Amino acid sequence: MSIRRGHPPLGYLTATQAKKKLGGISDGKFRSYIQEGKIARLLPPGMKQGFYKREDVEQLARELDSFWQSSTTVPRTQFQLATPEDLPAIAAIDEKTFNAGKEDAEPKEAYLRWIEQLYLRWMTKNPQVFFVLRTSARKVVGFAALVPLKKETLDRFVRGEIGMAAIASADIELLEPGKPLHLYVIALCIDPAYKATTKEEYGAKMVRGLFTHLLELAQRGVEIETITARNEKDKPDGKRLLQKLGIPQLRSPVPDMALFSVNVADSGYPLLVKYSDTLAAWKQEHLTTS
């Protein structure tokens, strides 16, 4: 097979063409798709530049598009800041997701009381850390908890040195301009009672809502330096949502927990790039007017 440099054979694309079809993703994200086996790579003998199977790229593009498109098979929803009145529903989803069914599960009522009281303390310190996804009938079908933590507290939590109960109100920062913040995704949950396809559709709506929130923070000059999360390795739904947020998986210091973390300014993920560009525009405006 004779192939001219820069000219892919039939059925293949160059890296530039493939990344463009996938929404202008970064080199790092593109490499991860190749390493995961989602895109086949052809490296002709004597050439350093590879080509990428068009069919694989187009299939992956369809999968990514389907996640972001609005669905008509689930009820219309709103992604909103949670209020204290939402905490019983949040606690119920949390308990079903993280406690029920475990060998060492806490008694249900005791767990519900504990998590509701803990979340209320955090919400009282910073009312902008809990969000709910609710239907037009006001039913809460999912929730997200994105908590800006002091760096020392975040590091100790990620290493497994402290648990959630040890995160005090004083460890939680406010979402204000003035200093880089470290955001920890405490939870990103859709009610487990729903079937897999419904959970995925609700999950897409939640992720879209989270990115809207991040862009609003950038427009206010709130600088998120890092976003970090952990996920129990037996819960693939959480892992999928974190990957849709553009947060890469790292080696975890805790064996039974998967670790995800991203330095936002360095990310090539398109929506995080948009956040960084929006924040840069805010800084430029305020630097020139101050």
Give dist(CA 78, CA 104) in Å, integer. 35
Confidence of residue 44 (pLDDT cuts 50, 70, 90): confident
**How does DSSP classify residue 172?**
B
Query: Is residue 113 a contact partner of residue 146, using CB atoms and an 8 Å limit?
Result: no
Other beta carbons within 10 angstroms of residue 81's beta carbon come to: 13
The predicted pLDDT at position 288 comes to: 64
pTM for this one? 0.75
pLDDT in tens, 119-165: 999 999 999 999 999 998 999 999 999 999 999 999 999 999 999 99
When mean pLDDT is compared across 14-18, 163-167, 171-175, 232-236, the lowest value belongs to 232-236
The candidate with the shortest Cα–Cα distance to 154, out of 143, 166, 136, 145, is 166
What type of residue sits at position 79? F
pLDDT in tens, 194-240: 998 899 889 888 988 999 999 999 999 999 999 999 988 777 777 77
The candidate with the shortest Cα–Cα distance to 59, out of 112, 17, 22, is 22
Confidence of residue 3 (pLDDT cuts 50, 70, 90): low
Give dist(CA 267, CA 258) in Å, integer. 19
Give dist(CA 146, CA 129) in Å, integer. 5
Query: What does the block give as tokens for 69?
Result: 């498109």
Other beta carbons within 10 angstroms of residue 20's beta carbon come to: 14
What type of residue sits at position 8? P
The predicted pLDDT at position 72 comes to: 55
